Amino acid sequence: MALIVEGRVIGLLSLLIIAGSIIYYMQRAYSGKLPKLRRLAAVNQIDEILGRCVEMGRPAYYLMDTVTMDNPSVLAPTVAAFQILAYTARSAARLGARFFVPVTQGLAYTIASEIVDEAYKAENKQDELKLDEAVMYLPDGADRMYIINHMWSDGMAGAFFLGSWYHKAVIFTENAARVGAMMLGGTDTTHNIPFLVAICDYSIIGEELYALGAYVSEDPTVSSSLAGQDVGKFIAVILIVLGSVLITLGMSIKGLLSM
Amino acid sequence: MQIPMILTAVIGLLMIIEFFFPMPASVTSLNVTLRSFVTIISATALILGTIVLTIFHTKKVGTRGSEWYYSIVYVVAFVVTAGLGVLNVRDTTFLWIYNNMTSPIGAALYSLTAFYITSAAYRVLRARNWNAAVLLVCALVVLLMLIPIGAILFPPVVPLGEWIRSFPSGAGFRGMIIGTSLGIMGLGVRVFMGRQKEHLGIREERRDSE
């Protein structure tokens, strides 16, 4: 019997190297050696959007679209969106911005409620929070009409579109743009990134969604893990160049990849 | 407070080990059982969500809150549909409600995308600057390639459109997918190590007290 499942050796090696790099940089951060990280513009943009909402006396919406957490491809961006929600809700509580988080799945609803509740408690603003109005469970299908209707009636001043976005990206962002809301959009679903980038005032694409969750955690050991991810990028670039050269020279790498 | 993190790390590692290494049937069977817990927990959370939503709308009707009349629609629809479903999920009336009301409403709402995508396309395809102009030209070429009359009127758009889709667009998407995969791995490591736990609703201050 093979020690490793056939065809997954390269995957395992990549996982070990990249996960090892991430852990290495996190351990280095424990001993005070912090890597230099570029500040993500989205961190300022979250506060800017919430500040606008406070100035205008209008609410901010935090939308996550598909949050079916039993689907692996949706789980990761949803968890990232929850991490950013923790920061955004806390900023909203601190600044006094009205905050609305509609969620279309039961499991995600309970998590989002807990996050928003804890964020307001952390800022000692639990008196200002009406949890059943701030975080609302809207069954999938009913959410579109409810959210669009309230976008217009509330005249929302800011919106966050983060997580796993599909066709609703166009529907909600287009309405938010017509209402005049300032928007931050970010997803990892490649076919919807163009819509969010084109319509939203600010956008984060692909891995920035995950990086932002780490960046806003206010824990230097967590944000240091981003340097470990960069090791993976360097490896990817080297492999792409190497693969291109080998293929150009007529050398097949199929055998290597199917290890 | 450590229990959720330990559970996440142990179960996550079990799944990874099963993916890469041949495992005895007992471990595979354990993982299948653990995966079925996701469905059970999701179903429980769905019930909780439905209860919360029903309480919210019932309260709204009781206090005559803003647009309370819509809440009556919810309560009536919920009582009728859930009642029929509980009595007999294969009942023809219950299925009729699903096939002739829920399903068409869902399709109608989905079709909204077509209208919004048109106005979104207008918003996007304005040559406000150099980058937007490149996007506009590429989009026009690909659109012309995809519509039947486009290839008849301008035959060169077919190879040009295919090239745009296969090379610049394909390369960009692959770059994004590589970056996203690395981001997911980073997220996984942070969650497994218990360093990132906001998604569990655990407050920042509690980190210091642990």
Reported ipTM: the value is 0.85
Q: Which residues constitute the domain of residue A71?
A: 41-215
Q: How many domains does chain A have?
A: 1
Under an 8 A CB cutoff, do A18 and B182 touch? Answer: yes
Q: Does A137 touch chain B (CB under 8 A)?
A: yes
Q: Measured between CA atoms, how close is B90 to chain A, in angstroms?
A: 22
pLDDT score at B206: 45
What is chain A's pLDDT, residue by residue, as a tens digit (259 residues)? 688 888 889 889 999 999 999 999 998 988 888 888 788 889 999 999 999 999 999 999 999 988 887 777 888 899 889 989 999 999 999 999 999 999 988 888 888 999 999 999 999 998 999 888 899 988 887 888 889 999 999 999 999 999 999 888 888 999 999 999 999 999 988 888 888 888 899 999 888 898 888 888 777 888 888 888 889 999 999 999 998 899 899 888 777 777 7
Residue A60 lies in a domain: yes
Same-domain status, B6 and B83 = yes
Q: Does A117 touch chain B (CB under 8 A)?
A: yes
Under an 8 A CB cutoff, do B50 and A137 touch? Answer: yes
Residue B104 lies in a domain: no
pLDDT score at A1: 63
pLDDT tens digits for range B12-71: 899 999 999 998 888 889 889 988 888 888 888 888 888 888 998 899 899 988 888 989
Judged against a pLDDT cut of 60, whether residue B87 lies above it is answered with yes
Under an 8 A CB cutoff, do A82 and B182 touch? Answer: no
Residue A23 lies in a domain: no
* Residue that finishes a domain, picked among B58, B87, B116: B87
For residue A225, the chain B residue with the least C-alpha distance is: B186
Residue B190 in contact with residue A237, Cβ under 8 Å?
Answer: no
Residue B149 lies in a domain: yes
Residue A220 lies in a domain: no
Q: Does A218 touch chain B (CB under 8 A)?
A: yes
Q: Taking phi first (over 0 means left), then psi (-120 to 50 degrees means alpha), and beta for anything else, what does residue B67 get?
A: left
Residue B26 lies in a domain: yes
Judged against a pLDDT cut of 70, whether residue B202 lies above it is answered with no
Sheet hosting strand A99-103, strand order edge to edge:
A135-137, A99-103, A60-65, A158-164, A182-187, A202-205
Tokens of B106: 């869902």
Q: Does B63 touch chain A (CB under 8 A)?
A: no
pTM to 2 decimal places = 0.85
Q: Does B210 touch chain A (CB under 8 A)?
A: no
Same-domain status, B130 and B209 = yes
* Cα–Cα distance measured from residue A133 to residue A146, given in angstroms and rounded to the nearest whole number: 13
Residue B9 in contact with residue B194, Cβ under 8 Å?
Answer: yes
Q: Does B28 touch chain A (CB under 8 A)?
A: no
Same-domain status, B76 and B131 = no
* Cα–Cα distance measured from residue B170 to residue A118, given in angstroms and rounded to the nearest whole number: 42
pLDDT tens digits for range B152-176: 999 999 999 999 999 999 998 888 8
| DSSP classification of residue B98 | I
* Cα–Cα distance measured from residue B183 to residue B158, given in angstroms and rounded to the nearest whole number: 36
Q: Which residues constitute the domain of residue B139?
A: 125-210
Residue B29 lies in a domain: yes
* Cα–Cα distance measured from residue B141 to residue B162, given in angstroms and rounded to the nearest whole number: 9
CB-defined contacts A:B, below 8 A = 208
Tokens of B41: 């927990």
pLDDT tens digits for range B145-155: 999 888 899 99
Residue B99 lies in a domain: no
Q: Measured between CA atoms, how close is A55 to chain B, in angstroms?
A: 24
Q: Does B182 touch chain A (CB under 8 A)?
A: yes
Q: Does A21 touch chain B (CB under 8 A)?
A: no
Across the interface, of B117, B182, B196, the residue whose CB is closest to A217 is B196
Under an 8 A CB cutoff, do B182 and A221 touch? Answer: no
Q: Band of the pLDDT at B207, cuts 50, 70, 90? A: very low
Same-domain status, B141 and B196 = yes
Residue B77 lies in a domain: yes
Under an 8 A CB cutoff, do B201 and A76 touch? Answer: no
Q: Measured between CA atoms, how close is A169 to chain B, in angstroms?
A: 9
Residue B112 lies in a domain: no
Q: Band of the pLDDT at B210, cuts 50, 70, 90? A: very low
pLDDT score at B201: 65
Which chain B residues contact residue A222 at CB under 8 A? 190, 195-196
Q: Measured between CA atoms, how close is B149 to chain A, in angstroms?
A: 26
Under an 8 A CB cutoff, do A106 and B46 touch? Answer: yes
- Tell whether the torsion through CA atoms of A130, A133, A135 and A137 is positive or negative: positive
pLDDT tens digits for range B119-146: 888 877 777 778 778 888 998 999 999 9
Under an 8 A CB cutoff, do B49 and A110 touch? Answer: yes
Q: Measured between CA atoms, how close is B137 to chain A, in angstroms?
A: 15
Other beta carbons within 10 angstroms of residue B129's beta carbon come to: 9
pLDDT score at B1: 61
CATH code (residue A144): 3.40.50
